[in-house]
Amino acid sequence: MSSSTAALTAASAASAALLVLAAFAGGVEARERESAWLPAAKKMAAAPKKVAAAAAKVPAVIVFGDSTVDTGNNNVVATMLKSNFPPYGRDLGAATGRFCNGRLPPDFMSEALGLPPLVPAYLDPAYGIADFARGVCFASAGTGLDNATAGVLAVIPLWKEVEYFKEYQRRLRRHAGRAAARRIVRDALYVVSIGTNDFLENYFLLVTGRFKQFTVGEFEDFLVAQAAGFLAAIHRLGARRVAFAGLSAIGCLPLERTLNALRGGCVEEYNQVARDYNVKLNAMIAGLQSSLPGLKIAYVPVYDDMLNLINNPSTLGELYIFGAVLFSFFTGLLSQIICFTYAGLENVEQGCCATGMFEMSYLCNEKNPLTCPDADKYFFWDSFHPTEKVNRFFANSTLQICLRELLS
């Protein structure tokens, strides 16, 4: 390489440098594919062919739930729970109302299925029915399976999300015609993520009467019954392929860790509740699938994915290539300094925003000087919500399950 570049002029040497770098990057990529130390990345790299086949069969991604999947509906709701200001959206280029530095799992799933890279919020006036025909989000941050949960921060209750879904279908029929509308509703991939707020914002915060009315076990049963009612309702309205997220390890959210400061670590009681609820949710899902014709529901094990990442933060590592090409035009020698690092998550306990201990919504704002410079090193963006990097991981993991259980 050095002998062939010796005669080059400065201008062509610069372009040669790019070629050399490209060649090196290409070589690294090839090695990366063969190596065994990036199993997660390998799994994702193997997916595209299957995803492409499934994509042809999925006309839209339709989303219900809470802040984990709300792409901006709360922007136009009279609530304190908003995130349409910086530093939210910092790595997306705009604060859209997503509770994240970037995109949410449904956005990544939509993109992977050949649909738009952002799933529009139904209440966002910038979008119309032509957009919603390819994907729409009815989710509202702060909501829950229990009607009372939405009341705590005056957000959209789940029954109202279903009402919006009915209105959407009327608009879709006018826009695309009856037959096409029915096809879109039937073949769409539904993503549902809800339940955290029922425990953390309602039951355990003692702000509604639920903690007096129910034991925690009874409250789990009550919530699972609400989830069953919701699934039956969207099935009646034509939904057939549903990815339903279980509860995450809610005791490990930074806010709960902070409240647990005296003992330190995750709140084990809350994680136990999440595990119990997930068992009941799974049983309900199995029952519904056999009683409701044509309905396929995939349970998404967010709890396990989350704890696996927290316990093995380097899983989300990436190969970084630092390249520097130095020229000496006098000697014509080209030398390269290339070094590689493998970096994973560095912080799985605090949020990137502000102190990371309790801030979210308006408390996570631009004026706070403590916000971390690189959200990719963090599991959590604010005290309650994952970073884009983690959302991408959740999206890939969910998509694998959807391909296997809903779209094959």
Binding site for ligand NAG (CB under 6 A): 147, 159
Q: Using the minimum distance from each CB to ligand NAG, give the nearer residue, 149 or 361.
A: 149
d(CA 206, CA 64): 25
Q: Residue 228: what are its φ and ψ, rounded to 5°?
A: -65, -45
Residue number with CB closer to ligand NAG (147 or 336): 147
Q: Residue 173 or residue 280: which is nearer to ligand NAG going by CB?
A: 280
The DSSP secondary-structure symbol of 103 reads -
* Residue 313 burial (CB count, 10 A): 17
Query: In 3-state terms, what secondary structure has residue 383?
Result: coil
Beta-carbon contacts of residue 125 (< 8 Å; ≥ 6 apart)? 76
> 64 vs 270, which CB is nearer to ligand NAG?
64
Task: Give min distance, CB of 245 to ligand NAG, in A.
Answer: 21
Least distance (Å) between residue 143 CB and ligand NAG: 12
Shortest Cβ distance from residue 155 to ligand NAG (Å)?
A: 14
Nearer to ligand NAG, 150 or 273 (CB): 150
CB of 281 to ligand NAG, least distance (A): 17
**C-beta of 147: minimal distance to ligand NAG in Å?**
4
> Least distance (Å) from ligand NAG to the CB of residue 239?
19
Alpha helix (H) ranges present in 177-301?
178-187, 196-197, 210-213, 216-236, 254-259, 268-291
| Helix spans in 39-197 (H) | 39-46, 48-55, 105-112, 129-132, 147-152, 158-176, 178-187, 196-197
What is the β-pairing status of strands 135-137 and 189-193?
Answer: unpaired
The nearer residue to ligand NAG, 147 or 308, going by C-beta atoms, is 147
Residues 403 and 54: their CA atoms lie apart, in Å, by 7
Q: Could you tell me if 311 and 286 are in contact, meaning their C-beta atoms sit under 8 angstroms apart?
A: no
Alpha carbon distance 5, 73 (integer Å): 57
Closest residue to ligand NAG: CB criterion = 147
Nearer to ligand NAG among residue 85 and residue 211 (C-beta)? 211
- Shortest CB 197 distance to ligand NAG, Å: 15
Largest CA-CA distance found in the chain, in angstroms, rounded? 84
Q: Which is closer to ligand NAG, CB of 159 or CB of 320?
A: 159
Q: Is 342 helix (H, G, I), strand (E, B) or coil?
A: strand
- Tokens representing 334 are 């080209």
Among 302, 374, 325, residue whose Cα is nearest residue 90: 374
Catalytic residue set: 67, 382, 385
Query: How distant, in Å, are the alpha carbons of 45, 76, 158, 363, 391 from that of 192?
Result: 25, 21, 11, 27, 14
Cα four-point dihedral sign 32, 33, 34, 39: positive
Instruction: Give yes or no for a contact between 246 and 302, defined as CB atoms under 8 angstroms apart.
Output: yes
Angstrom distance (rounded) from CA 163 to CA 165: 5
Residue 169 near residue 238, CB atoms below 8 Å: yes
Tell the smallest beta-carbon distance from residue 229 to ligand NAG (Å): 8
